[in-house]
Chains A and B, each alone.
Chain A
Amino acid sequence: MKQGDRAMALRSFSRVGAVIGAQNLSLLIVLIALGALITSQTPDFLLAGNLENIGLAVALLGLVSMGQTVVIVSGGLDISVGSTVGLASVTAALVVANTGSALAGVAAGIIAGALAGAFNGGIITIGRINPVITTLATLSVFRGVGFLITNGSAISVPNVAFDNLGSGSIGIVPIPIAILLLVVAAFFIFLRFTDIGRNIYAMGGNPVAARLAGINLDKYKLGIYTLSGLIAGVAAIILTARTTSGQPASGSAGLELESITAAVLGGSALTGGKGTVIGTFLGVLILGELDNGLILLNVPTFYQLVARGSLLLIAVLVQEFRARRPGFFLKLWGRMTTR
């Protein structure tokens, strides 16, 4: 690369960095580099159809991860999100099957998710129980209730209007992707620009100080877990519509760990007070890109699990290193480029 080109590339990168933050900039670089790597192996990657596939594949995880990010930023953790999606999915399917109304199904799914979340929040605040323990318990409870409702099998949803939510498009954008983008935008604004978002960062960073600054921690926790459940309900609608059936477990099991992975990959600290919606969104895209690339390259499924876990470990190690030795990566970059 010529000197001038590099300077220009650096300048435009630093401008992007100023808007989305240095942490997210490095995620964006990883996303692009990974994409380039995959494209160099298989040109199919960049086809519009394939990109749409990635979008559809990550819609569910993307939604759930938004709720998870808010929970993690507030200093908590929601391990029950996957089960909540399953419970909301069978609820929605049941209502659609019995009423024939798509709208009633959507409402029922979202309400079921929100109630499940509120249940978590209630236990955590009233019982003063650790959120990990609480949601670990409800992970099992919600899943069990989902199976009980359906007697273990899926409930089919023969409703064109409802199923259209999974397979239809607005213009050229598939509905699940449109919903994901809308929700990401809403969460971005919520966490970054509202006083509630600010207070959530404060309570995650130091709950004692947050209380002494006048924040009602119980009210916030209740709201945050309800929100996480509600978004899981929205994700459940998409899952149900895409598979045209209410699924107690299929498609939603494992979402809890994947959403935590995406948030941590995106820079959220499990100790609370740190994390961004954009970071999590980039984390989700990287995970989706990785899965998709490995499929295109015909890598066996088992390796995908290894790759995903390794990516998380690397991300955490990089964060830790950055915290311990500020400037390390800048120096490394300097050494690599001034040779």
Chain B
Amino acid sequence: MPTPSPLFRLQGITKGFLNVQALNDVTLDVHAGEVLAVIGENGAGKSTLLRVLNGDYRPDSGQLSYEGTPVTFNSPRDAHRSGVRVIYQEPELVPSTTVAENLYIGELPRRFGRLVDWHLLNRSALAQLTAFGYESLISPSTLAEKLTPAQRQLVEILRALKSGVKLLALDEPTSSLTEEEVGKLFATVERLRDQGVGIIYVSHRIREILRLADRVAVLRDGALVAIRPVRETNEDELVRLMVGRPLQAVFARKSHAQTDVVFRVEGLAAPPLRNISFEVHRGEVVGLAGLVGAGRTELAKALFGSARVKTGRISIEGHPIRLRTPADAIAAGIGFSPEDRKAEALILVRSVRENISLCILDRLRRWRFIRRGLERAVVTRLVSTLQVKTPSIEQEVGKLSGGNQQKVVLARWLAREPMVLILDEPTRGIDVGAKAEIYRLIEQQAASGVAVIFISSELPEILGVSDRILVMQSGRITGELSAQDATEEAILNLAMSDHLAKDRPVDGGTNAR
């Protein structure tokens, strides 16, 4: 519980970039033994705040102080020395070394002079993992490059803990975690709080914050809008503070599904996928639910010509199509927004304009020359329809916030006007406001007759957006639910039932052998 004198204080922090005021006079106290949640839309200043704390940025004005003493962080090293640790969304581990080595990097136990004592190293690492209940999730001898994003995050947190952390800041820690992992993470955070560590917890997930945090700070447009004790606030109020407008029925939508089938898949097999058959009607949104590793992303890639298909027939509007490359899929009228937008969709070093027009160059060109006026018109229209927040269409995409980057990916496909649109986790890691806009876009696409396949790990979202839900497990479709019948329990039942006992798990245990 909060103690009277703050552990760490940010006083009047202001940080501006060329033409953006990222933080404006933000004053925040973090007490020892409390979890302070920081929420805000993309671009509200959360990342900048963390970077100031971590010593990556120096504030233009304002003062940091630790237990009443002013401190200056010129580099992350300074921050670490003062006991401040910031864990970013994409933690950096040394890829080709093991979990144990990453945990003890710089202080590997030795014997016989300079030889690493592997036995002791692995034992200490296992002890460390066990102390936090991670031993079933992570093995000390796994290579860091084989870890899932979730596991990487947990390793990074453990590493921070070892160095005697006083203030731990977590940036969207749960955006790629499964339920079980989230549980473990929360237990860790609560335990640290009880030990007197101050915790700053940046997240978009309001329900989590209500469960975990003691106080909530809301940022909007670089300014601190409110600080509330969690007991005295609720979801509606927080959303209103963040977005600046009430969130009335984000999911209020009506079905636009028509009777004719646009997209049909029969007997598709592409390891690990087995016997996949389904169809999507014109204007219908079909949700693909399932646990992480159930094969949803693999299915999306197979349907986009990006993974090898062994057998199966795919047709669009009754015409059979062959998908050997993504180019075939695009030509056939399929669009695909992949799960990892930075790695698989965006050309981060190129402009918003070039990223949006990438798949319509064949329509924009006369002979081989791109009609730049037309291109600019198309891109400008999409940027304003999707409300992409960017200083200009010439801005590098890498400099936009996550939600705006996702909108750029969607804009690329809206420009293409596909008949079938496959969206893999389109709302991962983006804030409530941008999510609502993306739901609205999906509905608009459906209304205009596009057949949408929507993959999500967030059950409320998949229930809210889909007309029909297919549930996958171990590479198969294990059930189908209509929007009326679907509940979180029904989905989870289909996603987890029978296979655990009979079949071997498809993911997880593979590198244990």
Residues in chain A within 8 A of chain B (CB atoms): 193-196, 198-199, 201-202, 205-206, 208-216, 269, 273-274, 326-327, 330
Q: Would you list 8 pairs from A and B whose C-beta atoms are within 8 A, ordered by A residue?
A: A202-B350, A208-B343, A208-B344, A209-B347, A212-B306, A214-B331, A214-B359, A326-B17
In the assembled complex, B112 has its CB within 8 A of some CB on chain A: no
Chain B positions 65 through 86: 1 when the CB is less than 8 Å from some CB of chain A, otherwise 0: 0000000000000000000000
Query: In the complex the two chains form, what is the Cα distance from A327 to B336 in whole Å?
Result: 37
Query: In the complex the two chains form, what is the Cα distance from A214 to B343 in whole Å?
Result: 16
Chain B positions 338 through 356: 1 when the CB is less than 8 Å from some CB of chain A, otherwise 0: 1000011111111000100
Known: A195-B365, A195-B370. A202 touches B326 (CB 8 A): no
The contact of A206 among B18, B327, B346, B369, by CB within 8 Å, is: B346
CB contacts (< 8 Å) of B492 on chain A: these are: none
Tell me whether B370 and A212 are in contact (CB under 8 A). no
Tell me whether B370 and A198 are in contact (CB under 8 A). yes
Residues in chain B within 8 A of chain A (CB atoms): 17-18, 304, 306, 325-327, 329-331, 336, 338, 343-350, 354, 357-359, 361-362, 364-365, 368-370, 372, 412
Q: From residue B90, how far is it (CB to closest CB) to chain A in Å?
A: 16
CB contacts (< 8 Å) of A215 on chain B: these are: 327
CB contacts (< 8 Å) of B372 on chain A: these are: 193
CB contacts (< 8 Å) of B365 on chain A: these are: 194-195
CB contacts (< 8 Å) of A213 on chain B: these are: 326, 330, 358-359, 412
Query: In the complex the two chains form, what is the Cα distance from A327 to B17 in whole Å?
Result: 8
CB contacts (< 8 Å) of B358 on chain A: these are: 198-199, 202, 213
Tell me whether B306 and A206 are in contact (CB under 8 A). no
Tell me whether B327 and A205 are in contact (CB under 8 A). no
Tell me whether A201 and B361 are in contact (CB under 8 A). no
Known: A201-B354, A326-B18. A194 touches B348 (CB 8 A): no
Query: In the complex the two chains form, what is the Cα distance from A289 to B357 in whole Å?
Result: 39
Tell me whether B346 and A209 are in contact (CB under 8 A). yes
Known: A214-B330, A326-B17, A327-B18. A205 touches B348 (CB 8 A): yes
Q: From residue B337, how far is it (CB to closest CB) to chain A in Å?
A: 9
Tell me whether A195 and B350 are in contact (CB under 8 A). no
Tell me whether B350 and A205 are in contact (CB under 8 A). yes
Query: In the complex the two chains form, what is the Cα distance from A330 to B365 in whole Å?
Result: 37
Query: In the complex the two chains form, what is the Cα distance from A214 to B332 in whole Å?
Result: 11
CB contacts (< 8 Å) of B370 on chain A: these are: 193-195, 198
Query: In the complex the two chains form, what is the Cα distance from A274 to B397 in whole Å?
Result: 13
Tell me whether B368 and A196 are in contact (CB under 8 A). yes
Tell me whether A212 and B345 are in contact (CB under 8 A). yes
The contact of A274 among B17, B304, B345, B349, by CB within 8 Å, is: B349
CB contacts (< 8 Å) of B369 on chain A: these are: 193-194
Tell me whether B326 and A206 are in contact (CB under 8 A). no
CB contacts (< 8 Å) of B359 on chain A: these are: 213-214
Chain B CB count within 10 A is highest, among A196, A212, A273, for A212
The contact of A205 among B326, B331, B349, B357, by CB within 8 Å, is: B349
Query: In the complex the two chains form, what is the Cα distance from A196 to B361 in whole Å?
Result: 9
Query: In the complex the two chains form, what is the Cα distance from A163 to B359 in whole Å?
Result: 47
Tell me whether B343 and A216 are in contact (CB under 8 A). no
Known: A194-B365, A198-B358, A273-B349. A212 touches B304 (CB 8 A): yes
Tell me whether B336 and A212 are in contact (CB under 8 A). yes
CB contacts (< 8 Å) of B330 on chain A: these are: 213-214
> Assuming A193-B370, A201-B354, A330-B18, what are 20 further A-B pairs, CB within 8 angstroms?
A195-B364, A195-B370, A198-B357, A198-B361, A199-B361, A202-B350, A205-B348, A208-B343, A209-B343, A209-B347, A210-B347, A211-B325, A211-B326, A212-B338, A213-B330, A214-B326, A214-B327, A216-B325, A273-B349, A327-B18
